Structure 1
């Protein structure tokens, strides 16, 4: 499939350019953060500094909603936290969230602001898996932890059709890997998938191609590749769980992909979207003009962050309600 242009993937009701605040934030990030991230070493000291920097930024520009309930979970190999928006009542549906940042930097805690707003927008509880990070825990630790968390939710009584997989950045690669593993093992697939700025190409060849036309405000493809290499840790890049192929996946869940028009991972987003559609699945791709990587996590900085989450919430509600109607129709026909 020929890659589409940004204009053909605009979110519903979007303008042809980001807001003035968005464009200013992108400029300031490119002038201040990008030079720093490109120079930070991948030594233990450099990684610890990166983790503190990102945690501080996420809390500053995307704080947790007041009144959010957080419950930590540590059951066998499953580590994570339940995040429930204020006033949320229990139900049969749930979001399983997979945070990103190159398998190295973030955690369930750094993403608590984003997951609290996602819970509020959807009215659903969010379980964020706190997978083990590289370089302390290289491949396939993160993928194994996600798989354990998904199966744990199934064992808790959640029907697969009522589980929504959501994630950002490296969480997108982990989500796609989970879908492939579910297909291989005959495990029921989730009801829907929503990804923000998904990373798919761990060699960052697609990102390098995007950078030739527009530099990412946050980091270069070369620097990002160095971080991800701490996870892949010398494994063959062609391993099936690293170079993902979705062509043979059956019953791929309906998916929404959101990506920023200013970031290098827009190439990955297009590639994932194309793979899903080529395999007969349903995918919606939204390229938000002038937005940075995972802009949904930065509402104090990016005005469009709330709109993007609302789009995601609408998609989730529509897909899950459609599934209910389809199931009821099947039951009526079988009587």
Structure 2
């Protein structure tokens, strides 16, 4: 069950949506606008930072982002943040409060990436943009530690990008392996089974199995290249869903994982934690009781947000 603050927040959000269609059911362009409208009242939460817009070019296209710079900023770290939203909705703006909190805690500049969204640009377009952003951050900040973070689908992209970059390095191709990963209530498999799916799949606390399946379909099922192969191509299924039995999880950066108790994706975080540990990686994992998927956006009313951000920053900062 939600804790008292989470329950009050859910009631408040439900009241704000009265008379509106579910954003999990409307066309994706409408869902994007609706999510932004829902998040706007919460975007002034957290520490003040300088926020600017910029873009860079990669693979013949322009990739936009927010650059978030806290008051205390150290030159030896850069945070690359990948927003959630089922690979189909969300933006650097909808997740600005989360990124400001993380940048402030890490005392470093943050790049919040507006990667390509499905279904207009399905897998692996968004993943390619995330890889390009990590490489660009390393080029522009030589010698800095690169910390890659993401929530939900963004956590999936962060881990997929790290695996791809690891494989590039192993193949003798110049690439930037991140120094740490911070993964918040991520999706790591296209499976719809498990105890947390069964417990919360009806959507009474937000993300439902039906909505999640719609995101999965839009992101991946429309892509013609669904095979798993040994070529290390960006379109390899192992980079899309990292709990694929064929995926190699060894040799990855130190990883901090967070699960929300009341979330259909909760079990996936614990399975990923076990798999990363079994593969010999340094990792830490925590589950936040009484909160739902997406809770990090509501630090103004949920004290758990500050706790999670602090733990994540401590993990990243203690890495050599």
- What TM-score comes out, normalization by structure 2 length? 0.83
| Alignment check: 8 A CA contact 2:47 2:101 kept | no
Asked whether 1:83 is paired with 2:68, we answer: yes
Look up the SS of the partner of 1:248 in the other structure: coil
Counterparts of 1:230 and 1:90, CA distance in 2: 39
Q: Where does the alignment leave 5 or more consecutive residues of structure 1 unmatched?
A: 1-16, 324-335
Look up the SS of the partner of 2:122 in the other structure: coil
- 1:1-335 pair list within 5 angstroms: 19-26=3-10, 37=22, 40-41=25-26, 46-63=27-44, 65=46, 67-77=48-58, 78-85=63-70, 87-159=71-143, 162-186=145-169, 187-206=175-194, 209-215=195-201, 216=203, 217-235=205-223, 236=226, 239-244=237-242, 245=244, 248-319=248-319, 323=320
| Alignment check: 8 A CA contact 2:9 2:301 kept | yes
Look up the SS of the partner of 2:262 in the other structure: coil
| Alignment check: 8 A CA contact 1:198 1:268 kept | yes
Greater percentage in strand: 2
Counterparts of 1:190 and 1:80, CA distance in 2: 19
Query: Which residue number corresponds to residue 234 of structure 2?
Result: none
Q: Where does the alignment leave 5 or more consecutive residues of structure 2 unmatched?
A: 170-174, 229-236
Look up the SS of the partner of 1:212 in the other structure: helix
| Alignment check: 8 A CA contact 1:183 1:250 kept | no
String of CA shifts for 1:96-139, please: whole Å, max 9, x gaps.
Answer: 10101111110111111111111112211111111011122111
Alignment RMSD: 2.7
String of CA shifts for 1:256-293, please: whole Å, max 9, x gaps.
Answer: 11121011110111121112111100221111111111
| Alignment check: 8 A CA contact 2:23 2:31 kept | no
- What TM-score comes out, normalization by structure 1 length? 0.80
Look up the SS of the partner of 1:240 in the other structure: helix
| Alignment check: 8 A CA contact 2:91 2:114 kept | yes
Task: Report the more deviating stretch, 73-82 or 233-242.
Answer: 233-242
Counterparts of 2:24 and 2:155, CA distance in 1: 25
| Alignment check: 8 A CA contact 1:37 1:223 kept | no
| Alignment check: 8 A CA contact 2:65 2:111 kept | yes
- Tell me which of the two structures has the higher relative contact order, counting C-alpha pairs closer than 8 angstroms and 6 or more residues apart: 1
Counterparts of 1:265 and 1:273, CA distance in 2: 13
Greater percentage in helix: 1
String of CA shifts for 1:21-58, please: whole Å, max 9, x gaps.
Answer: 123334666899799548614xxxx3233212221222
Counterparts of 1:218 and 1:147, CA distance in 2: 30
Counterparts of 1:237 and 1:210, CA distance in 2: 28
Query: Which residue number corresponds to residue 330 of structure 1?
Result: none
| Alignment check: 8 A CA contact 2:207 2:263 kept | no
Query: Which residue number corresponds to residue 326 of structure 1?
Result: none
| Alignment check: 8 A CA contact 1:210 1:266 kept | yes
| Alignment check: 8 A CA contact 2:42 2:97 kept | no
Task: Report the more deviating stretch, 186-195 or 23-32.
Answer: 23-32
Look up the SS of the partner of 2:240 in the other structure: coil
